[in-house]
């Protein structure tokens, strides 16, 4: 009887050992799965973030220079620890796509015979005309075809200064200024110096500001230009992207006339100009700027995803009516 009890006990102990062994194997397998999946997730997130940064950096060189865009994208990816990326431009020079793959060594999963896994990611970025914008100055230019580097009148004077040589009148006391922050001279001067803090959007109707406003114009622009601390100072031939000389201007069409007087305009787009200063004195105060093709400063462009996709489609089809050379870089869904 004693021998039988000992045999049963030994048999039960043997079963326990088998169960414990199976349980440990399952636990190790689960640990391997959790550990290696976690590593793959972290590696993929890092890869995706690096490619997003590379795409956004590269797209800012478009549409002017796709070669430079590729070099910048590669440099940003390398700086973030990702090598061997491929760069494509599927929509001409308005979109960039970057791809990369990485091999990730396994850790605990080697018990299942898995030595490594391959992860891949891609990122798309494009440039589109902004549908909304902050930081614009309270000046305007009527819609037209612009030529890079050409000088345009942003505010005319009482004795002319418009680009239309056949119309030197003051158009009922409107010289190109807009009412943005308010209707006071100080509001206008502050908006010239620092840019309008609110958002302006395509399709928005604005009231024009009548009067020459020569004093506030001169002071506001002088304050803006005095913020240029670069040595040597920014010039049209050599400037930083955040140079205070770069101003965002609403491109408008005239809506309402009362005789020769203009009261309202509608925004049809935005453009950037390099501001040289104020010409003339008193009623002959004239502001001119050279037309630029550039990227909106970070955080100053807005618009919904629907607006973004619509702008992208219009640019691809060559039918964009709001393309005045000012673009916002945007990541696109893959």
User: What residue has token string 């809506």?
Assistant: 255
Domain coordinates of the chain in residue numbers?
Answer: 2-128, 132-332
Which pLDDT tens digits describe the chain residue by residue (334 residues)? Answer: 444 444 444 444 445 455 445 445 555 555 555 566 777 788 889 999 999 999 999 998 888 889 999 999 999 999 999 999 999 998 778 889 999 999 877 765 565 566 677 889 999 998 889 989 999 999 999 999 999 999 999 998 876 555 444 444 446 788 999 999 988 899 999 999 999 999 999 999 999 998 888 899 999 999 999 999 999 999 999 998 889 999 999 999 998 666 667 889 999 999 999 998 888 777 778 999 999 998 888 777 776 667 666 676 666 666 677 889 999 888 888 7
Q: Is the Cβ–Cβ distance between 146 and 152 less than 8 Å?
A: yes
What number of helices (H) and strands (E) belong to the chain? 5, 15
pTM, two decimals, is 0.77
Radius of gyration of the chain (CA): 31
How far apart, in Å, are the Cα atoms of 64 and each of 93, 127, 213, 216?
8, 12, 37, 36
């Amino acid at each position: 009887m004693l021998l039988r009890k000992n045999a049963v006990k030994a048999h039960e102990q043997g079963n326990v050992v088998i169960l414990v062994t199976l349980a440990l194997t399952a636990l190790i397998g689960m640990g391997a799965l959790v550990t290696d999946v976690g590593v793959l997730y972290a590696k993929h997130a890092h890869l995706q973030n690096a490619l997003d940064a590379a795409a956004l950096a590269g797209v800012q060189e478009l549409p002017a220079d796709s070669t430079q865009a590729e070099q910048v994208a590669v440099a940003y990816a390398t700086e973030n620890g990702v090598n061997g990326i491929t760069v494509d431009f599927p929509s001409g020079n308005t979109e960039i796509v970057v791809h990369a793959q990485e091999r990730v060594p396994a850790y605990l999963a080697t018990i299942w015979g898995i030595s490594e896994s391959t992860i891949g990611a891609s990122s798309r970025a494009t440039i589109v005309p902004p549908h909304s914008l902050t930081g614009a100055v309270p000046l305007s230019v009527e819609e037209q075809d612009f030529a890079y580097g050409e000088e345009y009148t942003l505010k005319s004077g009482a004795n002319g200064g418009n680009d239309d040589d056949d119309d030197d009148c003051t158009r009922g006391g409107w010289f190109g200024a807009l009412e943005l922050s308010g209707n006071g001279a100080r509001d206008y001067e502050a908006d010239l110096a620092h840019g309008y803090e609110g958002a302006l959007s395509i399709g928005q109707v604005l009231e024009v500001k009548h009067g020459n406003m020569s004093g506030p114009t001169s002071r506001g622009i002088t304050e803006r230009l005095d913020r240029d601390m670069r040595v040597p100072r920014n010039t049209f031939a050599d400037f930083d992207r955040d140079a205070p000389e770069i101003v965002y201007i609403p491109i408008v069409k005239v809506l309402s006339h009362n005789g020769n007087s203009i009261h309202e305009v509608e925004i049809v787009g935005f453009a950037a100009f390099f501001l040289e200063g104020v010409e003339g004195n008193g009623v002959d105060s004239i502001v001119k700027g050279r037309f630029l093709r550039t990227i909106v400063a970070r955080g100053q462009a807005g618009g919904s995803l629907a607006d973004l996709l619509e702008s992208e489609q219009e640019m691809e089809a060559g039918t964009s009516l709001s393309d005045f050379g000012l673009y916002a870089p945007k990541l696109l869904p893959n």
